[in-house]
């Protein structure tokens, strides 16, 4: 999608880097206009050039919800020009589904 994400496999919190302090308020407002709550952080809670948005993922979220939110995040990212990643991953819809992951799970 073009965003820089700092992930931690042990946490449901996903920090997405915005970097530009002047855009954190706009990002939060644009997401709220689209009915998506997001927490944005900037200076002094973070170093001045490490502004970020944080999303919390829950087991209660279904795939359709997550896909819709990712679409909106991408739309707002394009609008505000906050996509900084040099290499873009294929979206989950463009990648082949790996059935072997679920074949190893026991009931």
Model pLDDT for residues 45-77, shown as the tens digit of each residue: 888 888 888 888 888 888 898 899 999 999 998
pLDDT of residue 17: 87
Q: Is residue 44 part of a domain?
A: yes
Domain count, the chain: 1
The parent domain of residue 91 ranges over 13-103
Q: Is the pLDDT of residue 103 over 70?
A: no
Q: What share of the chain is helix, strand, coil (3-state, %, to 5)?
A: 35, 15, 50
Query: What CATH number does the domain containing 31 carry?
Result: 3.90.1150.10
- The percentage of the chain sitting over the pLDDT mark of 70, rounded to a whole number, equals 80
Q: Is residue 5 part of a domain?
A: no
Q: Is residue 93 part of a domain?
A: yes
Q: Is residue 59 part of a domain?
A: yes
- What is the chain's Cα-based Rg? 15
Q: Is residue 90 part of a domain?
A: yes
What's the predicted TM-score (pTM) here? 0.70
pLDDT of residue 96: 59
């Amino acid at each position: 999608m073009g965003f820089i994400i700092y992930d931690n496999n042990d946490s449901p919190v996903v920090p997405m880097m915005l970097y530009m302090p002047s855009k954190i308020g706009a990002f939060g407002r644009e997401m709220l206009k689209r009915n998506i709550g997001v927490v944005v952080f900037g200076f002094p809670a973070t170093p001045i050039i490490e502004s970020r948005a944080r999303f919390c993922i829950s087991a209660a979220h279904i795939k359709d919800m997550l896909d819709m939110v990712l679409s909106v995040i991408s739309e707002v990212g394009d609008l505000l020009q906050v996509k900084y990643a040099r290499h873009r991953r294929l979206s989950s819809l463009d990648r082949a589904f790996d059935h072997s992951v679920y074949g190893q799970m026991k009931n």
